[in-house]
Amino acid sequence: MKNVLNNFANMLKRNKSCHNYSLCCRIAALPLMTLFLAHVAAAQQGGSCDSAIEINYANVQHIQAHAKGKAVALLSMPHAKGMYFEKPHSLVWFTFVVPKDTLLTFDLIPDNNSDDLDFLLFRDQNATLCSSIGQNKRPVPVRSNIADNAFTSSGRTGLAASAAHDMEAPGKHPAFSRALEVKKGERYYLAVDDYTSAFGTFSLHLNLYFPQPGKPAVQAPPPPPVHNIVPLPSPPVLKIIVADSGNKPVKARIKLMSVAGSRTRTIADTTGTSEYQRTVMAREHLKVICISQGYLLYQSEITIPDTATLIRDTVRLSVLREHRSIVLQDIEFEPELEVFLPTAAEPLSDLLAFMQSNPTIHILIKGYVNDPFTQNSGNYDMDLSERRAKAVMKYLTEHHIDKSRMDWKGFGNKDMLYPKPQTMEEQRANRRVEIEIEP
């Protein structure tokens, strides 16, 4: 044991330069060094948010620990466009408090460059992150990268000042996400997943300066003067124009929502205008909803191009006519139930506003299910589609829409939009609710 301690002390001397400017965390399962750090390995340090490896001056060195922590299903969500892991895997957790205001960058470097490392970075504003995860509340990361970096960067990933985006989705996308401005005293948690191998080893190089206890921090020299500063390009502008089929302007309620994975937030909601514009972000995914008396409810989606400066989106409203139908996007249900998912709250509210804006119309609420393996709807499919149509009607009546203005009908798996769905999106499209204008 004495020889082990001496060897470890010599290692620290050889890595003295690592104490000041970067953290080099080596994640591995070495039997000899595990003896020295038994209190770390035995407790599975880094295996969960609560036992995250604390990064500070005292451990700015090569830390030996087991890399196989427990999977957190809460942090996994397919088709979230990079906001969360695609599948639940074993994780390694790190945490640190920012020692000074700076621009945070770091590198994750696998020992095997064919390994694919993914990460989520969280800001713990109120010291509640770990307890929230324990209570099954999904936190929102400030940075993430789920790209397939084994093909794009020899396995390396992290944050870089030259990167363009806060989050990168799965697939062949940039391996580095944009650097983050951090403030002194802020605490962060970093969750790392080796998508390729739960036992893969890697190094973390965290570019922060941790002053040695008892010694004053070395002041960095002032930066050299910057000349010929090139101003950043102006953000793109989205302009929405509402018109009828004859291109005549129509005053309407215009609602704009930003979409990130399964999360949406309203960024604009204006009434009584036929034009609206605002600045947006490149690659931002948006939903546009328009409601006007005498016209069908309008819903569409738009993704802002990378290089656009002005995006014009002309909304063509359709006049209310008998037997015209609307597919209510995102009114989704719990599997096998008529219970709404949280994502249904906004589109249900839009339907309610449509009914309030057109107080004389009568509608038929039509329910459908996704069942591509049954040729003709059985009793179960018909019953489920009817219950879901009734659930929409119940929502409207509870919000003071007269029951006499509505009928409902279940169609089972008849008229599926995708008879042979290939993706989750196509299955969700089949599991829908439609509104038809009745005489």
Q: Dump pLDDT digits (tens) for 246-274.
A: 999 999 999 999 888 767 889 899 999 99
How high is the pLDDT of residue 19?
Answer: 37
In eight-state DSSP terms, residue 85 is: B
Whole-number Å distance between alpha carbons of 338 and 388: 5
Reading the block at residue 276, the tokens are: 């609206």
Which stretch of DSSP H or E encloses residue 407? strand 406-410
How high is the pLDDT of residue 227?
Answer: 56
Question: Does the fold of domain 321-439 match that of domain 233-319?
Answer: no
DSSP string, 209-275: --PPTTSPPPPPPPPPP--SPPPPPPPPEEEEEEE-TTS-B--EEEEEEEEETTEEEEEEEEEEESE
How high is the pLDDT of residue 29?
Answer: 31
In eight-state DSSP terms, residue 347 is: H
Whole-number Å distance between alpha carbons of 402 and 272: 25
Whole-number Å distance between alpha carbons of 426 and 439: 31
How high is the pLDDT of residue 69?
Answer: 59
Instruction: Give every residue of the chain whose pLDDT is below 50, as ranges.
Output: 1-44, 58-67
How high is the pLDDT of residue 391?
Answer: 95
In eight-state DSSP terms, residue 275 is: E
- The end-to-end CA distance of the chain, in Å, is 88
How high is the pLDDT of residue 336?
Answer: 82
How high is the pLDDT of residue 190?
Answer: 92
233-319 is classed CATH 2.60.40.1120: yes
Q: Which CATH class is domain 321-439?
A: alpha beta
Dihedral sign for Cα atoms in the order 140, 161, 114, 15: negative
Stated pTM of the model: 0.49
Measuring CA to CA, how many Å separate 349 from each of 28, 266, 323?
52, 12, 22
Strands (DSSP E) along 304-391, which ranges? 310-316, 325-327, 362-367
Question: Domains of the chain: which residue ranges?
Answer: 2-206, 233-319, 321-439
Q: Backbone phi, then psi, for 420, in 5-degree steps?
A: -125, 75
